[in-house]
Amino acid sequence: IVSLTREGIPAGKASSIVIIKLVTLSAIIQIGAMVSFLLYQLQLESLRFVSTIFYVGGFVGIVFVALLIAGFLYPRFLIGSFTAIGRMLHFLRLLGSTKNLKRKIIHEALMARKSYRLYFSKHLGYFLSATGLNGASYFTNLVLLYAILRGLGIVMPFGDALVLAAILLFLIMFMPTPG
């Protein structure tokens, strides 16, 4: 018997869908920022703070995506990493008990692995369309920032506004938030 969530998605697979969305959107935002940085390299290099944040943020983002992909391909790596993080959080008294932590991590890794296999074997069209829609959502955000600038009375070329919006969204991606 497979338990289903309210939306009809098998329980445990909803979290893997969120992770795939997070990884693809992160990759799209990083690619957009890299293209923008290449187009406006001279102007952005003069802003030392922005270029430093860009390089540090780009490195952190690439490492994060690489670790997630390594976790998808090698679940033991993922389980070991999260178990070590759980022990460290327990040591720092930020996490109460680690008694069931490894079991929960193994269960989530198993469900995510099954979901990823389905994505890339039977549902590749869904994955590609979802990635395309993530890209369309990203482009909509870029155009929305341009529209906001126009609404505030700031006139700038459309291409310049898109490049600056891409850099802004990239920098906002690393903003610490409680959720």
Does residue 39 contact residue 66 with C-beta atoms inside 8 Å?
no
Nearest to 139 by CA among 166, 158, 119, 176: 166
Q: Using an 8 Å Cβ cutoff, are 136 and 124 in contact?
A: no
- Average pLDDT in the chain: 77
Span 81-105, average pLDDT? 78
pLDDT per position as a tens digit, 153-174: 989 889 888 888 888 888 777 6
Q: pLDDT tier at 94 (50, 70, 90 boundaries)?
A: confident
User: Average of pLDDT values for 82-106?
Assistant: 78
pTM confidence score: 0.63
Cα–Cα distance, 5 to 38 (Å, whole number) = 44
- The residues near 53 (Cβ < 8 Å, ≥ 6 apart) are 171, 174
Burial class (CB in 10 A: 0-12, 13-18, 19+), 11: exposed
pLDDT value at residue 13: 53
pLDDT tens track for 119-132: 777 878 888 888 89
